[in-house]
Chain A
Amino acid sequence: MTKAKIQADALKDCRGVGCPMNLVYTKVELAKLQAGQILEIHLDDGAPINNVPGSAEKEGHRIIGKKQLPDGAWSVLIEKG
C-alpha cells in the first residue's frame, strides 16, 4: 500500500493561511480526532511546510505522509498521537 492511499479521517485546507494560524487550525482539527486517526492538512510551500509538521511532531503526533500538490502547496498526513 502506498502512502497516497491512506484514507484521512479529516481534511483541513490551510493554503493561504500563514504561520502560526495554520498550526492553530491543525491543533483544532487534531483535537477533534481520536488517537490513531489521521488528519490531512494542506500547507503552503515555504515557512508553513517547514514549520507545521515539525511542531505537530513535537506535540506527540506522527507525520505519516507528505507530498507536493500540483499548485506547489503540500499535503501532509498527520496521525494523532
Chain B
Amino acid sequence: MRDFSEAQLERYSRHILLQDVGVEGQAKLMEARVLIVGAGGLGAPIGLYLAAAGIGKIGIVDGDTVDLSNLQRQVIHFEKDIDTPKVASAREKMLAINPEIEVVTYQKCLRADNIREIIRDYDFVVDGTDNFPTKFLVNDACVMEGIPFSHGGILRFDGQTMTVVPGKSPCYRCTFRQPPPPDAVPTCSQAGVLGAIAGMLGTIQAAEVLKFVTGVGDLLTGTLLTFDAKTMDFKKIKLHKQKNCPVCGEAPTITELYDEEQAVCNLHN
C-alpha cells in the first residue's frame, strides 16, 4: 500500500474517513491523471476541487487569457490575473491549494490534429468548454481513444452534464448528432450566464471524476442531468446507446477527427 505522510493523512482525512473511499480510494486519486478542457466557468471549480482532492496529475487546456468579464464566474482567476494566460492563472491557484500535485498546462485550443496526443496521457477528460465544435471534438476523440469523459454545458440559468464511458455507455453524439449551425445557439458571451451555476455544474463534474477514479457509486452514464436554476428543478433523462451513432455505433461514419467550420477560438467576445 502507498505510504501516506502524516500531513497527507490529515489533508485527506475527510476522504479517508469515508467508508467507500478510505486509504485505498485516496491512493487511487493520488495516482490518477485527469485532463480539464477549458479553464473557464466550469474548469475553475473542477480545477480547484480536483487539486484539493489530490489528483496526482491534472492537465488543463485553454488558449485564452483572463478577461475582466470572466471574474463574475471563473473563480479560479483573480483581478491580478487579467491579461495572463488562463492556464497559468489556474495552475498557480491549484498548486497554492495543493503543492503535492502535478499540473500540466496546454496554452492552446484543442483541434483535430492535436487532441488525441494530448488526451492519451490521461485516464479521464472533463469537458468544460463553451462551444459546440470542441464538445463534439472531445466526444469523438475520447470515443476513438477509449477514454471516459464528463460532458458539461451551461447557459443563462441552465446546466447539463453526462458522463461517457466509451464502449459501455451512450456518447454525446448518440443523442446530439451534430453541432447546431454557427450562431443558432448563443454563447455565454452573447446570452449571459448566472455566475453560480458554473459552480453548480462544475462541482457535479468534479464529483463524477472522484467517483470514477475511486469506483464509488453510479456515474451519470446513460443519463443527462439537467437543471434550471430559476426553479431549481433537476431532471435526469435516460439516454441509450444508438446502433447508428456516427462515431460509436456499429458502422461509424466518423472515423477521423475534423474541425467544425466554426473556429473554436473565435467565439470569445
**Chain A positions near chain B (C-beta within 8 angstroms):** 20-21, 23-25, 27-28, 31-32, 58-59
Q: Decide: B16 and A27 in contact? CB cutoff 8 A.
A: yes
Kindly list 11 other residue pairs between chains A and B, CB separation below 8 angstroms, not including A24-B17, A27-B22, A28-B4: A20-B13, A20-B17, A21-B9, A21-B10, A23-B17, A24-B10, A24-B16, A25-B9, A27-B16, A31-B23, A31-B24
Measured CB to CB, the nearest residue on chain B to A25 is B9
- 11 CB contacts below 8 A, A to B, read A21-B10, A23-B17, A24-B9, A24-B13, A28-B4, A28-B9, A31-B1, A31-B22, A31-B24, A32-B1, A59-B19
For residue B17, give the distance in angstroms from its CB to the closest CB of chain A. Answer: 6
Residues 1 to 59 of chain B near chain A (Cβ within 8 Å)? 1, 4, 9-10, 13, 16-17, 19, 22-24
For residue B250, give the distance in angstroms from its CB to the closest CB of chain A. Answer: 44
Measured CB to CB, the nearest residue on chain B to A28 is B23
- What is the predominant secondary structure among interface residues of chain B facing chain A? helix
**Chain B positions near chain A (C-beta within 8 angstroms):** 1, 4, 9-10, 13, 16-17, 19, 22-24
From A20, A21, A23, A24, residue with most partner B Cβ within 10 Å: A24
Residues on the B chain within 8 Å of A59, using CB: 19
Q: Decide: B19 and A28 in contact? CB cutoff 8 A.
A: no
For residue B12, give the distance in angstroms from its CB to the closest CB of chain A. Answer: 9
Q: Decide: B19 and A58 in contact? CB cutoff 8 A.
A: yes
Number of A-B contacts (CB under 8 A): 27
Complex Cα distance A29/B92, Å?
A: 35
Residues on the A chain within 8 Å of B17, using CB: 20, 23-24, 27
Residues on the A chain within 8 Å of B19, using CB: 58-59
For residue B21, give the distance in angstroms from its CB to the closest CB of chain A. Answer: 10
Residues on the B chain within 8 Å of A25, using CB: 9
Complex Cα distance A23/B9, Å?
A: 11
Complex Cα distance A29/B257, Å?
A: 49
Complex Cα distance A24/B4, Å?
A: 11
Measured CB to CB, the nearest residue on chain A to B22 is A27
For residue A68, give the distance in angstroms from its CB to the closest CB of chain B. Answer: 26
Complex Cα distance A23/B23, Å?
A: 12
Complex Cα distance A62/B66, Å?
A: 55
Complex Cα distance A24/B1, Å?
A: 15
For residue B7, give the distance in angstroms from its CB to the closest CB of chain A. Answer: 12
